[in-house]
Amino acid sequence: MTSIANTTKRKAVRFAALASAGALALAGCVSPVAGPGGHYAAPIGGAPVIPNPTPYSDALNCLANYAVANNLRAPRVAVGRILDYTGKADLEGGRRVTQGASLMAISAFSKAGVSLVERFDTSVSELELTYTNNRLISDDGANFREIHAGSIPGSDYYLVGGITEMNYNIRSFGLEAYVGDQDAEDLNGTSTAKMFVINVGLDLRLVDTQTLEVVDVISYQKQIIGREISAGVFDFLNGNVFDIGLGERAQEPIQLAIRSVIERAVVEMTANLYGMPGPDACGMAPDVSTTGQSGGFALVPPTITANNASTRDEANRWNENRDGALRSALRGRQ
């Protein structure tokens, strides 16, 4: 009886020692004293910055090419507030739906080559106008800036609307299985598979700025799928206990789904503004636009002639760990 107790005690001490060693090994990655670079720990991850396209981004670029190839005047569009009307929120995580739908719409119109005028956040412009009116701003350090009538271009149309739906658990499916022998010490296994579907929806309207006539209305929704898979094995072998589990959980990003719905709506509205017959016209439009999957490029000021729309979508560009040209240029200067 005493030997069994001693064996159990030795096993407990050995387990505690292993746990302490593991904890110390993990703690070794964090120092209580900041290093030469000013960090307690080096952050993990090094993925490059890449564009954030949806399945409709190429269609938006096609619209831009079509407008340029056919010498179409892009209407000036302003984007207003596209608010979250779902009311969905978590107690800890906050809002479930993005509050930046207006920004997504601005990016979408830019990809389509539409001329944009700022109406979403004019706080800086209004402050500059106030300072200019009080003769407090100078561009050359000598003369104060003047206010000229008609210097701000107006919009032809503006886009407003909201995210109006987010429905949980439209349908779900689950499967659980357990396989084992009646003997508790024999091999036992478990597996679980679950799937669920939710959706988001929005309603947008395009309004004529001068007449306030609603010229286009679109209501779209998109379903989002998620899955969870897990498996485990439990067994006693040579007096040792083995409990191994493996699992994977994935869900289609909700905010990316909202961006997709917005881009689809902008594609349809912009095609009407351009008078584009349909997707078949993309084959007749050469790639001559200055837009890309990350947005549009405007020549401001006009003296700038460089156009990086074709390269800004590259994953390795300007990345010090991936761009060979940048490393060569900086070699010896760091």
> By three-state DSSP, how is residue 302 classified?
coil
- Model confidence at 182, in pLDDT bands (50, 70, 90)? low
Beta-bridged to residue 199, according to DSSP, are 167, 223
Beta-bridged to residue 251, according to DSSP, are 226
Whole-angstrom distance, CA of residue 70 vs CA of residue 302 = 22
Residue listed under structure tokens 């149309």: 157
Question: What is the pLDDT at residue 273?
Answer: 93
Whole-angstrom distance, CA of residue 204 vs CA of residue 85 = 12
> By three-state DSSP, how is residue 192 classified?
strand
Q: In sequence order, which residues have a C-beta less than 8 Å from that of residue 152 and are 6 or more positions away?
A: none
The greatest distance separating any two alpha carbons of the chain, rounded to the nearest whole angstrom, comes to 100
pLDDT in tens, 80-94: 999 999 988 887 778
The answer to whether residue 184 scores a pLDDT higher than 70 is no
Return the higher-pLDDT residue of 131 and 280. Answer: 131
> By three-state DSSP, how is residue 122 classified?
coil
Q: Which CATH architecture has domain 50-117+153-330?
A: 3-Layer(aba) Sandwich (3.40)
Q: In sequence order, which residues have a C-beta less than 8 Å from that of residue 301 and are 6 or more positions away?
A: none
Domain boundaries, the chain: 50-117+153-330
The burial class, CB within 10 Å (0-12 / 13-18 / 19+), for 132 is middle
- Model confidence at 253, in pLDDT bands (50, 70, 90)? very high
DSSP letters along 152-189, please?
SPPPSEEEEEEEEEEEEEEEEEEEEEEEE-SSTTS-EE
- Length reported for the chain: 334
The answer to whether residue 109 scores a pLDDT higher than 60 is yes
Neighbours of 204 (CB within 10 A): 24
Return the higher-pLDDT residue of 14 and 288. Answer: 288
260 neighbors 224 (Cβ within 8 angstroms):
no
Whole-angstrom distance, CA of residue 309 vs CA of residue 124 = 27
Question: What is the pLDDT at residue 163?
Answer: 97
Mean pLDDT, the chain, rounded, equals 84
Q: Which of 294, 296, 264 is nearest to 279 (CA)?
A: 264
Question: What is the pLDDT at residue 300?
Answer: 59
The answer to whether residue 10 scores a pLDDT higher than 70 is no
Q: Which of 244, 238, 83, 89 is nearest to 159 (CA)?
A: 83
The answer to whether residue 5 scores a pLDDT higher than 70 is no
Tell whether omega for the bond before 301 is within 30 degrees of 0, i.e. cis. yes
Whole-angstrom distance, CA of residue 251 vs CA of residue 227 = 6
Q: Which of 116, 113, 118, 120 is nearest to 99 (CA)?
A: 120
Question: What is the pLDDT at residue 196?
Answer: 92
291 neighbors 266 (Cβ within 8 angstroms):
no
The answer to whether residue 130 scores a pLDDT higher than 60 is yes
Mean pLDDT check: name the lowest of 108-122, 236-250, 277-291, 296-310.
296-310
> By three-state DSSP, how is residue 131 classified?
helix
Whole-angstrom distance, CA of residue 184 vs CA of residue 181 = 7
119 neighbors 141 (Cβ within 8 angstroms):
no
- Model confidence at 185, in pLDDT bands (50, 70, 90)? low
Residue listed under structure tokens 């679950």: 194
Whole-angstrom distance, CA of residue 250 vs CA of residue 272 = 37
